[in-house]
Structure 1
Amino acid sequence: MDNMYKLMGFWTGIFAVMFYIGGMMTPSLLMLASTGFFILLGYMNLTERMYMYILGAYLMVFMVGFSYYTNFIHVPGAGH
């Protein structure tokens, strides 16, 4: 399970670089923070149950934040 967190760290790092190249600094910094979080967890050697609890908590926080952003902050059709 720890290898999967290292893999998630790798892919969020790829997303961080792509967001940075695309000029989107806020998502890039969020992905960079997620990369550090996942890599750190990957080297902690926790039990599989603890890894699943952490993943569930991470996904819950993400969905609450994403739902808040899409309902109250994002302005539809407000492009550059």
Structure 2
Amino acid sequence: MARMFRVLGFWTLAIALMAYAGDMYEMSLLFFIQSAVFFLFGYLKFSERTYILMFWGYMIVAFLGFTYWSVFEMGLPV
């Protein structure tokens, strides 16, 4: 399970580099931070249950943040 967090770190790093190359600096910073956290979690020796709970927590926060941003910050098309 720890290896999966390193895989997530790799893919978020790839997204961060593409966002940086596309001059989307805020998005790239967000994904660089996520990459660092995923790599950190990947090298800690937690139990499988802890990894699953951390992933569920991450998904809840990510989906709530995405929903808030897309509804309240981007606005609705008129």
Match of 2:72 in 1: 72
Shift of 1:34: 0.4
RMSD, matched Cα:
1.1
Unaligned runs of 5+ in 2: none
- 1:33-59 alpha-carbon deviations (Å, 9 max, x no partner): 100010000010101100000000000
Any idea what SS the aligned residue of 1:23 has? Answer: coil
User: 1:34 and 2:34 equivalent?
Assistant: yes
Matched, 1:22 2:32: no
TM-score by length of 1: 0.92
Normalised by the length of structure 2, the TM-score is 0.94
Quickly say closer, same or farther: Cα 1:11–1:67, change in 2 above 3 A.
same
Question: Structure 1: which 4+ aligned runs deviate by more than 2 Å?
Answer: none
State whether structure 2 residue 45 is matched by structure 1 residue 13: no
What is the aligned length? 77
Percent of aligned pairs sharing the same letter: 35
